[in-house]
Structure 1
Amino acid sequence: ETRLNWRVLDFRSEESNAIFKIQSKILQSFREFFLLRHYVEIQPPVIIASASEGGAELFSLKYFEKEAYLAQSPQLYKQMCAISFEKVFTVSPIFRAEKFEQPTHLNEVRQMDIEESFATDADVMKVLEEFMAHCVKVVRESSAEELKRLGQELEPLSLPLRRIQYSEAVNILRKSGEEIEQGMDFSKTQERKLAGLVGENAFFMVNWPLELKAFYAMPNPDGQTCRAFDMIYNGLEVSSGTQRIHVPSLLISQLKAKGLNPDNFKSYVDAFRYGAPYHAGWSIGLERLTMKITGRENIREATMFPRDRNRITP
Structure 2
Amino acid sequence: MNQPSLLLTQGDPAGIGPELALRAWMLREERTLPPFAVLSDPAFLERVAQSQGWDVPIMAVQTEQIPDTFPKALPVLPLSVSVSAQPGRPAAGAAASVVESIETAVRLVQKGSASALVTNPIAKHVLYEAGFRHPGHTEFLAALASKGSGEVYHSVMMLWSEGLAVVPVTVHIPLADVPSALTTDLIVLTGRIVARELRERFGIAHPRLALAGLNPHAGENGAMGTEDAGIIVPAIDALRAEGIEAVGPLPADTMFHARARARYDAALAMYHDQALIPIKTIAFDEAVNVTLGLPFVRTSPDHGTAFDIAGRGIARPDSLIAAIKLAARLSKP
Question: What TM-score do you get using the length of structure 2 for normalisation?
Answer: 0.26
The structure carrying a bigger strand percent of its residues is 1
Question: What TM-score do you get using the length of structure 1 for normalisation?
Answer: 0.28
